[in-house]
Chain A
Amino acid sequence: MTPTTFETEQTYGLRKSLSRAIPYILLTISILPIIIGYAWIFIATFSVRTEGLIPKDAHGNIGGLTLQNWSFLHNPEVWNATLNSFGIAVGMVVGVGFLSSLTGYALARMNFAGRKGFLGTTLLLHAFRPEMLLIAIFQVLLFIGGIPLIGDWVGFNTVGGVALVMITLDLPLGVWLMKGFFDNLSWDMERAALIDGASRFRVWWEIILPQIKPGLAALSIFTFITGWNAYLIPFTFTIGSKVANLPVLLNRFSGDTSLGSWNEVAALGLFQLVPILVFFIFTQEALLNIYGGGSKGGA
Chain B
Amino acid sequence: MSFTKSPEDNNPVKIPGQTVNFIIAIVGGLLGIVAFFLPWIGFSSGGGLLGSLSGLKIGAGPVVALSKGAVIFRGTPTSYLVPIAGMVTLLVVFLAYRRKIIVEKDGFWLIALGALPLLVLLGQFGEAQRDAAKVGVDIHYLSGLIATFLALLLIILSGTLTTAALARQKPSFRNTLGAYGFMSPTSLLVIIFFLIPVVLLFILSLTNLSSANFGDPWTFIGLGNYRRMFSDKFFPKILRNTVFYVVMTLAFFNVGLALALALLTSHINRRSSFFFRLIWLLPRITPSVVYIVMWKRFTQVPPYGIINQFLGWAGIQHQPYWLNETPWLFVILVNGFVGASFGMIIFTSAIEAIPKDFIIAAKVDGASSWQIIKDITLPLLRWPLLFVTTYQTLSLLVSFEYILLLTEGGPGLFTTEVWSLTAYKRALFTYFGSNQWAYGAAWGFVLVVIGAILSFIYLRVFRFDDLVQEPKIDVL
- Chain B residues near A40 (CB-CB < 8 A): 294, 297, 306
Q: Mark B287-318, 1 if CB is under 8 A from A, else 0.
A: 11111011111101111111011101000000
> Is residue B197 contacting chain A, with contact meaning CB distance below 8 A?
yes
> Is residue A115 contacting chain B, with contact meaning CB distance below 8 A?
yes
- Minimal beta-carbon separation of A54 from chain B (angstroms): 7
Q: Nearest chain-A residue to B128 (Cβ)? A: A146
B183 contacts A118, CB within 8 Å? yes
Give residues 13-37 of A contacting B (CB, 8 Å). 19-20, 23-24, 26-27, 30-31, 33-37
Stretch touching chain A among B59-67, B219-227, B400-408: B400-408
Stretch touching chain B among A61-69, A70-78, A168-176, A212-220: A168-176
> Is residue A123 contacting chain B, with contact meaning CB distance below 8 A?
yes
Interface size on A, residues (CB 8 A): 120
> A38-B294, A108-B471, A190-B473 given as contacts; is B428 within 8 A of A140 (CB)?
no
> Is residue A79 contacting chain B, with contact meaning CB distance below 8 A?
no
- Partner of B469 from the list A35, A183, A293, A296 (CB cut-off 8 Å) is A183
- Partner of A295 from the list B342, B444, B451, B467 (CB cut-off 8 Å) is B342
A132 contacts B201, CB within 8 Å? yes
B293 contacts A134, CB within 8 Å? no
> Is residue A93 contacting chain B, with contact meaning CB distance below 8 A?
no
- Minimal beta-carbon separation of A227 from chain B (angstroms): 11
B337 contacts A125, CB within 8 Å? no
> Is residue A242 contacting chain B, with contact meaning CB distance below 8 A?
no
A292 contacts B349, CB within 8 Å? yes
- Partner of A164 from the list B179, B189, B268, B303 (CB cut-off 8 Å) is B189
- Partner of B346 from the list A26, A134, A280, A299 (CB cut-off 8 Å) is A299
> Is residue A90 contacting chain B, with contact meaning CB distance below 8 A?
no
Q: Mark B188-208, 1 if CB is under 8 A from A, else 0.
A: 011011101110110010000
B441 contacts A135, CB within 8 Å? yes
> A112-B175, A132-B201, A132-B451 given as contacts; is B391 within 8 A of A265 (CB)?
no
B289 contacts A123, CB within 8 Å? no
Give residues 145-200 of B contacting A (CB, 8 Å). 175-176, 178-183, 185-187, 189-190, 192-194, 196-198, 200
B287 contacts A291, CB within 8 Å? no
> Is residue B4 contacting chain A, with contact meaning CB distance below 8 A?
yes
> Is residue B239 contacting chain A, with contact meaning CB distance below 8 A?
no
Q: Nearest chain-B residue to A106 (Cβ)? A: B182
A135 contacts B204, CB within 8 Å? yes
A112 contacts B176, CB within 8 Å? yes
A128 contacts B451, CB within 8 Å? yes
A41 contacts B290, CB within 8 Å? yes
How far apart sit A27 and B306, CA to CA, in the bound complex (Å)? 21
> A140-B196, A295-B342 given as contacts; is B455 within 8 A of A147 (CB)?
no
Provide the main secondary structure of the chain A interface. Answer: helix
> Is residue B281 contacting chain A, with contact meaning CB distance below 8 A?
yes
A124 contacts B342, CB within 8 Å? no
> Is residue A243 contacting chain B, with contact meaning CB distance below 8 A?
no
B276 contacts A124, CB within 8 Å? no
Give residues 271-291 of A contacting B (CB, 8 Å). 272-273, 276, 279-280, 284, 287-288, 291
A129 contacts B394, CB within 8 Å? yes
- Chain B residues near A124 (CB-CB < 8 A): 452, 455-456, 459
Give residues 221-268 of B contacting A (CB, 8 Å). 257, 260-261, 264-265, 267-268
A228 contacts B261, CB within 8 Å? no
> A145-B126, A194-B476, A200-B182 given as contacts; is B387 within 8 A of A299 (CB)?
yes
Q: Mark B464-476, 1 if CB is under 8 A from A, else 0.
A: 1101111111111
How far apart sit A99 and B290, CA to CA, in the bound complex (Å)? 30
A31 contacts B471, CB within 8 Å? no
Q: Mark B376-409, 1 if CB is under 8 A from A, else 0.
A: 0000000010010001001101111100110000
How far apart sit A143 and B122, CA to CA, in the bound complex (Å)? 9
> Is residue B341 contacting chain A, with contact meaning CB distance below 8 A?
yes
A280 contacts B468, CB within 8 Å? no
A-B contact pairs, 13 of them (CB 8 A): A31-B280, A52-B304, A103-B182, A110-B179, A113-B4, A124-B455, A132-B423, A132-B444, A134-B424, A135-B440, A151-B126, A231-B289, A259-B301
Give the 8 A-B residue pairs with the shortest CB-CB distance, closest first.
A52-B309, A292-B345, A127-B455, A146-B126, A37-B294, A136-B197, A106-B182, A112-B179
